[in-house]
Amino acid sequence: MPNSQEDAVKGGDAQRAHTVALAHAAISSMMEHGLPPSPDFFAIWYDYHAGTTNTLRRLIDTYLTNRRAITEEVMHQIHERFFDTQRESAALMEAAERLRQATDQVVSLVAAASGDTSRYGDALNAFRGNLTDTSDLGRALAGLIAQTQEMARRSALLGAQLDASSHLIIGLQAQLQEALTEANTDPLTNLPNRRAIEALAALRQQEMAVAGRPFSVAVVDVDHFKSINDTWGHPVGDAVLRRIAATLAGQLKDPQACGRFGGEEFVVLLPGLESEAAARVADGLRQAVAAQQYSVRATGGVVGPVTLSAGIATRLPGEAWSALVARADSALYRAKQDGRNRVVQHLPTSLAA
């Protein structure tokens, strides 16, 4: 066999082995945590062991590191967050359902393989027991040969089926990722849209709560943006927003932690930071935007100065996302009242006194 064909066969064998290993790891994880072998839970653990979704892996690792129980309720929440909440487009729903069917098929294949292995083990034990009766050894050996041939046939069939399933899953993952990206990206700025940033906020809040760390949020608004649109027109206003979005994302360690909330308003997630530290980060964003030169390419006209105002709030124990954003928005309103181009923190009454 030419080397290229040998390499292709070896590659296929390695891919099958990898797929089977991931499937077994997913099932083992469900058994380890006392979870029923449902397709939803299998999809989560398969993704975790494959390392496909970094945020999902970090969340589960947070539970494992802090020795928190991974219950069925936790798994349902994770599945809803990563596999259900962003299914608003038809393409996304179709890709997610086809991926679910593919993972169901892998569960069935692995379960069938486990049953075949068990039956073959029974056949070996039976043959070993018949070794003491030499008069019937020929028939026992013939039976074992038949069982071995059947096991080999089933193993080859399983390998082919898993190979096909792995190719299907890889293709579906790419399709699903494309649909997810489109459904969660603001088309003007390429930042996460409101739905995406709220989903990420829920994840970060949970991570910080499990780790016992603070979670802050900044609501950021472009000062006098209406006058930019009125003076220069909406195409220029859109270009300014794109420039600001790129500046904000470029200043953050996690560019995905900044999203467009609507209009000229952005939200920045600041996990692990108390109010003072969060305010310093937000002020750095404000300075970075103010330092930019905004000009109209066609005419050379200067748009500006362009500045930001921001409101900061740090999550209180048990506080809902909507309440947290409302407090940050209240601080933003004070920043506007106090003259704009500044960062204001919202402190609870007991802390502000």
In angstroms, the CA 332 to CA 126 distance is 77
Q: State the DSSP code for 185.
A: B
| 201: number of Cβ within 10 Å | 21
Strands 215-222 and 302-303: unpaired
Length of the chain: 353
SS3 252: coil
Identify any residues that bridge with 262 across adjacent strands, giving them in sequence order: 265
In angstroms, the CA 246 to CA 31 distance is 45
End-to-end CA, the chain:
81
Identify any residues that bridge with 259 across adjacent strands, giving them in sequence order: 267
Residues annotated catalytic, as ranges:
264
In angstroms, the CA 297 to CA 317 distance is 49
In angstroms, the CA 94 to CA 195 distance is 20
In angstroms, the CA 196 to CA 145 distance is 58
Dihedral sign for Cα 330, 333, 338, 339, please: positive
255-282 as b/e: b if 16+ CB within 10 A: eebbbbbeebbbbbbbbebebeebbebb
Assess contact for 250 and 291: CB atoms under 8 A.
no
What does the radius of gyration of the chain's CA atoms come to, in whole angstroms?
Answer: 28
